[in-house]
Structure 1
Amino acid sequence: MLSTMFGFTAKNHSPQETEAIAVIDPSAHIDPQTGAVIEKKTKRERLFVAKLDAILLVFVCLSQVIKYLDQQNISAAYVSGMKEELSLYGNEYNYFTTYFNVGYALFVIPSQIVITRVRPSLWLPTLEMIWGALTIVMYKVHSAKQVYALRAIIGAFEASCYPGAVMLLMSWYTPRELALRIGFYHSCQTVGNMLAGALQAAIYKNMDGLHGISGWRWMLIIDGIMTIIVALGGFFLIPDFPTKPNPLAIWLRPKDVEMAIERTKNFKRADNKKFTLKSVKTAVMSPVFYLVVIMYVSSVLAQASYQYFNLWLKSLVNADGTKRWSVAQINAIPIGGGAITIVCVWFWGFVSDYFQTRWIPVIVQACIGIIPGIIMSIWKVSDGAKYFSYFVCFLTLATAPPIWAWLSDLNPHDAEQRAFTLGFGIAFYYACGAWSGPLIWPAKTAPHYKYGWPVQIALWILVIIIACSLRYMEIHYIRPKNVRIAQEKEEAARNAERQAELEAEHDMDKKDPALAQRVTSIASV
């Protein structure tokens, strides 16, 4: 009972299941979500997965690094001269994020709908090129209002990147590969964040004032150019979907497409189809939709505290009143936390796939996240305890990969429901982020943020409750239902095949009764 609850049952089956597997392949296993018997990977399949990793995964990871670099450059710019140059002494910093979140939230669901009707290899790179150009334009801003407008538009065009890439990964990787790949992709957010700090530190040191342009403005120019260059590669490297491959992706051979379709059928996963109103209705009628969305949004909102690390560093002063850290150091110190996050994301992705458990990584990170919330809520602690708390926050940034892999597991027969839930979850987070930042983490309460830390504790507790509830539902209701649906589809396919054979025999009887008699006689021998 406990082993089932905790998810370490990937290789434990009933006697009948074990016998069936042994007949096929002693090293095979049963997919717990659909009951499909999955054989050990062949050399051909391993080479195919390696090819996907080398091209699809590397490209989406690079795109995510650029996206997050563009998304986080406002933070690096703010502490590197933008605040003083644009006279930002209120909550403008919070509003920069708010306007970005509004644009993102409004556009993410429409983008998820469009991506099922327009090839991702056209849709995603085009939007990326546009936001890259707008990032370059932003270097010319001279007021907060101009930043607000550009941030909202950039947010709208960036909305397609993350959910679109996760949707592609769900389409090409199996459940035993997915969490780790989403983890690699997700960790690139941290890489982008680290790169933003390191890049801004280097630019501020070497280019500040060059040709009369401030260092933070140079960063926007360089970010935009990098974005456009990466976007151009998307037209040729994004493979689209297995059933509708990208004709410009010359690296994707017909045998690769056949392998991808075969893997989808083996795991009894549904193909991607166009969004319809029925897809939306099916999603919103499912309790999985609400639990996954709330769990994801709560976990990401609970992680927001790490974003204020550099602002706390900037507030520190020495005994003589001088700043404790330079601008370059303020941008560089959080890089250590980013390295911690990358290791955690990869580790939990591996654990999630290897043991086929999604909820354990979420629960453990939620428990860890409560610790800094308690310490910082007390506040009257040493600076060492505060450094510790901020760095511990970086340990909790790996919840999204197992959550999205869990979503894929829970909805193996409905790709549209997966896509809608994914898009709605991200949209809802950004909608909440549009107001939660100024309300929970107002700049005027820095560096204490007396409201933010208690809210973080409450959100992590909510995540724990939802994860436990969803795990109970998965074991007792969702898995049996998915197995039944898979069996019904398999039976329907067999019936359709038999019906086709009968119709073919009937047509043969009509055209040539003598030939039909000979075929029947041969078949009976």
Structure 2
Amino acid sequence: MVQKAASIASSTPSVSWRGWLWDSADVSKEERRFLLKLDFTLLTFGTLGMLIKWIDTSNITNAFVSGMKEDLNLYQNQYNYIIVSWTVGYIVGQWPSNFILTRVPAHIWIPFLEIGWTVFTFALAGAKSYTHLLALRFVVGLFEAGYWPALYYILGSWYNKRELGKRNGILQSAVSIAPIFSGFLQSGIYNSLNGKAGLAGWRWLFIINGVISLPVAVLAYFFLPDTPHTAKPTWVFTERDIEIAKERMERVGRQPEGKPYTFKTILGYLTSWKTLLFTLIFTMQPFTSAPSTSFVFWLKAHNKKGKPPVYSISQINEYPTIANAFNAVYSLLTVWISDGPLRGRRWPTIIFGNLVAIVVFVLLVVTPVFGPFSHRAPLYIVCGIGGSAVPLTMAWMAELISDNAEQRAFTAASMNTLQYTFNAWIPLVWFQQIHQPNVTPGNRGAAVVAGLNVLVFSLITYLAHREKLQKKRNGQLAPTNGVLDSETQSTDGDEKKAVVVGDKEIVPVEKI
């Protein structure tokens, strides 16, 4: 029997209630300090960046129903084509950005994307025509393309299985919280700034969005960490911090960047069941998220020309934020359950959410479109429950592709690219502006797709379990830090245990 040198990486499962709430409560003081720095920099700037980007995404809808439609004469399907223009730019930028990310330091590439995005967001405030909007939204999408998958890739390069779900959930919560900010922001701007300096309220929204974004982009250059194997010591992360990060990732089998991109390797990614199935799941994502977009149109459709408005502009902007609040709270609840009581298992809450989504979409189909608020509005509020699985899906993908950094980056970009490719045409076919909110065929299709999601997630669960058993038989299974499940057991059924010495923990004893 031989004992390895002391390791700072945690290996014991959480045994305290504090550990279930936040994993760093059960690790050594040195690792806790390291995680605090990581959370403060990566989560803070990642979440702020996501929040700002998604405020912009929802701003287009808020601006449309708050005067942009009338000012720029957008009375046909122009709204849909403006969304498509942004989507095309987003699709074009996906793979190139993630390829660059594995070769250019994140603290340089991500702020560059943010600054470019900020400049063209400012320009949206000066749009004079439908054509201007199309061109500007394309460029905004191009700069925004790499941000979301880049952040998930970086999180997957720093955090272990016990930690990743919660961090992904916090990052993704910005997506749900952003429309809440946007709705109230648009309402406040419309009431206080409309007409100031000769600008309509919806134009001020883009100006303020850019003003918020610029300092975040500049500060990210100084604070945002690179990946552990490309990072250099800074005034935030010391050389010891980087050593801890590398050791933590080695313990869970997370491999560094550096593998060359060749036709053969990319073909291997495209034929991998992990890349294919996770991409398929995100390809279907636009269908299950589209029904919630009808809420704002449903409210506006109650107002008829020549009659007193049923809902004010403030109500039209603010009521849909209830759905975003629900998505944020539910998403955070599921990631905490997955990382905690479910011991890192991702599939139970993901499949449950999609089963509930099937029921909600069916109810949207069979109930009257213009029924009472109390009958229809709750369905719009909860119909995004299937999409709340995004952070757990990304965490699951990163964990299953731990051994290949380039494939993780490629798969993240592939998932997002195909998602937005379908997002470009699904609204034009199933959720057209001229039909909103009478989009029953689209809601029916969403129910079918949610059912397909359940089948695909079940297949991923089966294949991942089969691969785990094969690796266990071959002695290739890496232990997961702080998560005690079937993966942390040796082949003879004995749990791997650690010896705690002061603030440090000794790596499990190995037989030789």
Is the structural similarity TM-score above 0.5? yes
Alignment partner, residue 520 of structure 1:
none
Question: Please, which of 458, 469, 490 is the counterpart of residue 459 of structure 2?
Answer: 469
Question: Please, which of 230, 235, 246 is the counterpart of residue 250 of structure 1?
Answer: 235
Q: Tell me, which stretches of 5 or more residues in structure 1 are unaligned?
A: 1-23, 30-39, 489-525
Aligned partners of 1:269, 1:304: CA distance in 2, in Å?
35
Q: Which amino acid aligns with 1:389?
A: L
Question: Please, which of 338, 348, 352 is the counterpart of residue 360 of structure 1?
Answer: 348
Q: For residues 25 and 46 of structure 1, do their structure 2 counterparts lie closer, same or farther at Cα, with a shift above 3 Å needed?
A: closer
Aligned partners of 2:207, 2:334: CA distance in 1, in Å?
36
Question: Please, which of 266, 269, 274 is the counterpart of residue 254 of structure 2?
Answer: 269
Q: Tell me if the contact between 1:91 and 1:444 (Cα under 8 Å) persists in the aligned partners.
A: yes
Q: Tell me if the contact between 1:379 and 1:448 (Cα under 8 Å) persists in the aligned partners.
A: no
Cα-to-partner distance string for 1:363-405 (whole Å, 9 max, x where unaligned) = 1111111122112212426322211110111433311111111
Q: Tell me if the contact between 1:410 and 1:479 (Cα under 8 Å) persists in the aligned partners.
A: no
- Please say if 1:402 is aligned against 2:392: yes
The 5-angstrom pairing of residues 299-314 of structure 1 reads 299-314=285-300
Aligned partners of 1:25, 1:450: CA distance in 2, in Å?
51
Alignment partner, residue 159 of structure 1:
145
Q: Which amino acid aligns with 2:251?
A: N
Q: Answer with 1 or 2: which has the greater Rg.
A: 1
Say which is worse superposed, 311-320 or 208-217, in terms of deviation.
Answer: 311-320
- Please say if 1:372 is aligned against 2:360: yes
Aligned partners of 2:473, 2:111: CA distance in 1, in Å?
38
Q: Tell me if the contact between 1:279 and 1:416 (Cα under 8 Å) persists in the aligned partners.
A: no
Aligned partners of 1:275, 1:92: CA distance in 2, in Å?
43
Aligned partners of 1:107, 1:26: CA distance in 2, in Å?
39
Q: Tell me if the contact between 2:282 and 2:418 (Cα under 8 Å) persists in the aligned partners.
A: no
Aligned partners of 2:52, 2:305: CA distance in 1, in Å?
40
Alignment partner, residue 20 of structure 2:
none
Post-superposition offset of 1:275: 5.1
Aligned partners of 2:402, 2:309: CA distance in 1, in Å?
55
Say which is worse superposed, 202-211 or 260-269, in terms of deviation.
Answer: 260-269
Question: Please, which of 416, 419, 424 is the counterpart of residue 426 of structure 1?
Answer: 416
Q: Tell me if the contact between 1:375 and 1:385 (Cα under 8 Å) persists in the aligned partners.
A: no
State how many pairs are aligned: 455
Cα-to-partner distance string for 1:17-57 (whole Å, 9 max, x where unaligned) = xxxxxxx999459xxxxxxxxxx632221222122112211
Q: For residues 479 and 233 of structure 1, do their structure 2 counterparts lie closer, same or farther at Cα, with a shift above 3 Å needed?
A: farther
Aligned partners of 2:286, 2:232: CA distance in 1, in Å?
33
Alignment partner, residue 15 of structure 1:
none
Alignment partner, residue 94 of structure 1:
80
The 5-angstrom pairing of residues 37-186 of structure 1 reads 41-186=27-172
Aligned partners of 1:474, 1:127: CA distance in 2, in Å?
35
Cα-to-partner distance string for 1:279-317 (whole Å, 9 max, x where unaligned) = 422211211211111112223431122122111111114
Under a length normalisation based on structure 2, what TM-score does the superposition of the two structures give? 0.85
Q: For residues 213 and 320 of structure 1, do their structure 2 counterparts lie closer, same or farther at Cα, with a shift above 3 Å needed?
A: closer
Question: Please, which of 220, 240, 246 is the counterpart of residue 234 of structure 1?
Answer: 220
Q: Tell me, which stretches of 5 or more residues in structure 2 are unaligned?
A: 1-8, 15-25, 479-512
Q: After TM superposition, what 4+ stretches of structure 1 lie above 6 angstroms from structure 2? A: none
Aligned partners of 1:321, 1:145: CA distance in 2, in Å?
33
Alignment partner, residue 3 of structure 1:
none
Post-superposition offset of 1:223: 0.8
Q: Which amino acid aligns with 2:355?
A: C
Aligned partners of 2:112, 2:203: CA distance in 1, in Å?
24
SS in 1 for 2:434: helix
Q: For residues 250 and 83 of structure 1, do their structure 2 counterparts lie closer, same or farther at Cα, with a shift above 3 Å needed?
A: same
- Please say if 1:203 is aligned against 2:193: no
Cα-to-partner distance string for 1:318-355 (whole Å, 9 max, x where unaligned) = 89932211111111112222211111111111122222
Q: For residues 482 and 325 of structure 1, do their structure 2 counterparts lie closer, same or farther at Cα, with a shift above 3 Å needed?
A: farther
Post-superposition offset of 1:483: 7.2
Q: Looking at both structures, which has the greater relative contact order when contacts are Cα pairs under 8 Å and sequence separation is at least 6?
A: 2
SS in 2 for 1:273: coil
SS in 2 for 1:240: coil
- Please say if 1:413 is aligned against 2:403: yes
The 5-angstrom pairing of residues 447-458 of structure 1 reads 447-458=437-448
Cα-to-partner distance string for 1:86-142 (whole Å, 9 max, x where unaligned) = 111111111111111111011111100011111111111111111111011111112
Post-superposition offset of 1:411: 1.4
Q: Tell me if the contact between 1:113 and 1:275 (Cα under 8 Å) persists in the aligned partners.
A: no
Q: Tell me if the contact between 2:285 and 2:419 (Cα under 8 Å) persists in the aligned partners.
A: no
CA RMSD of aligned residues (A): 2.2
* Larger helix share, 1 or 2: 1
Q: For residues 313 and 480 of structure 1, do their structure 2 counterparts lie closer, same or farther at Cα, with a shift above 3 Å needed?
A: same
Cα-to-partner distance string for 1:215-245 (whole Å, 9 max, x where unaligned) = 0001111111211121111111111011111
